[in-house]
Structure 1
Amino acid sequence: MTQTNQYVGRFAPSPSGPLHFGSLIAALGSYLQAKSHQGKWIVRIEDLDPPREMPGAADDILRTLEAYGFCWDGELMYQSQRHDAYQGQIDQWLAQGDAYYCQCSRKAIKEAGGFYPGTCRHLNQQPKDSAVRLKVDTPIVAFDDQLHGRIALPESLAGEDFIIRRRDGLFAYNLAVVLDDIEQGITEVVRGADLIEPTGRQIGLYQQLGHTLVSYLHLPLAVTENGNKLSKQNHAPAIDKTNPRPALVAALQFLGLAPPADLAAHTVEEILMWGVAHWQLDKLPKTTAITLAF
């Protein structure tokens, strides 16, 4: 595990499709925050869910980042190569009684009101056809965000024993992302506001692991006129690898900066350097979503 006092940030896309403008916002915001702190910026491919992945998407994402001038520090991490670490931690928690097997279906939980009430917590279910849930005895009901200040989380969700390995054997995002951030020495997580809700569970995992918490900065989401966030699931158009400068300048504007009119005529490296030099958190829009006209 990396031990450092230096700022370490990251961009962690899932290879479910090409990068779109919303992805660019997350990449750029995390990059500018890291580099303005003279820190490291790491890229991790979150290939945790093969059924949702698109063949060739991981390589396409990396080529896109390169076309936009993003140079990451250190080696790439792929979550698909980290299964032993995830399972090792789950086995430890199961042995300690901090996690348990659960055979409740999504349908049953939905019929019970959508909140898992701890049905299998004391039933000693067998591993076969079971998910694994982590016991949550001290719910995280709020956290401090670098942009938004104190954010309250839904108490019903916060207190839920949550899944760390799915019934189909796939590892849960919350577990993987925290173990990976610890392994990579991440000091601050900069990402889109769509990931505010799971932050409480992730903070709880840091506490369960006895590890120093990271800080969080949730950037505004780019949404369409009908309120949907730009996402691969919503078929957001891929950003252009052959002509990256207009989108890069537009992303700077989205993040509250005021690039000069001629900045788009410069190289992507110069555009990023301008962004680092002018990056200020107090310029960021203090909203969780910004509507884009498409």
Structure 2
Amino acid sequence: MNLHSLNFAYLMRFLALAEHLHFSKAAEELGIAQPLLSEQIKALEYAIDVKLFDRTSRRVELTTAGKMFRDRVQLVVQGMQDSVEAAKATELGEQNRLRLGYTDEFAIDYLPYWVRRIKESQPTADLDLMPGMTPQLTELLKNGLADAILVCPIPEEPLGKEYQILPLEPLPLSVALPASHPLKKRKKVKISTLADEHFIEGPLSPQAASERVINRLFSQHGVERDIVQRVHDSELGVNLVAEGVGITIGHFSSRAKNRDDVTIVELDEPEAKLTRAILWRKSARPPMLDTALDVIASNGR
């Protein structure tokens, strides 16, 4: 038997004849001429060297071998159909997948909004969201473990010509004050006016973008912060402000700005901003990244 001579179409036509046991009906279902169907069944029997049908002028019946062959071929055809569907699903999944890294600054407000808009545009979008610090996310991108990264701050060292960067609007830094604080009615405050305050520092990390900018700001103005509490969670920091433990500086969520027990006042310093951007590799740009870029570029929020 020469398996290379088997034609998948012949198997499908064999199944049609095995179902109808009538050449005319099977040919009509297949949309081919009856003589062609007869020739292809003969070719199939010749290729596998097995008689599949008993034919007379009045009837067509499966042989015992033909019945066994029918049952096995049905499994083969079903397996092929399942394989095709699985391949299509895999391809669709890859097209709809986006591995997106992000720093904490994006999680406060922007990222949830962007995710909603992306899914509204592409309901089948499969977003793999990966938190981290800028150096960690940069390594993920370099090693092909992320398709794009949202970073704050923008890396000081250029990544190379093979990477694309889209700068986003910088984030202004503000100070969170207790609702009863004397500075709560000001629209903006200078660093110098905070010299005598107690500070809550956080999120605590030597790589945290906001802490590096804040430390630089206070150093430039010759003000040393009196840090009374360090935290790993920005929301906890705001809660401690509400309890009167101290004040904290950072970029705050809309929810924090709408609290009654805390007042958010922007810092009146040109350098009190966090740079941010989205980066990706030019050579690896999945289709879903284009959707994400459109959303981010048009909905900076």
Would you call these one fold, judging by a TM-score over 0.5? Answer: no
Higher helix share: 2
TM-score tier by shorter-chain length is: under 0.3
Larger RCO, structures 1/2 (Cα 8 Å, 6+ apart)? 1
TM-score when normalising by structure 1:
0.22
Larger Rg: 1 or 2?
Answer: 2
Higher strand share: 2
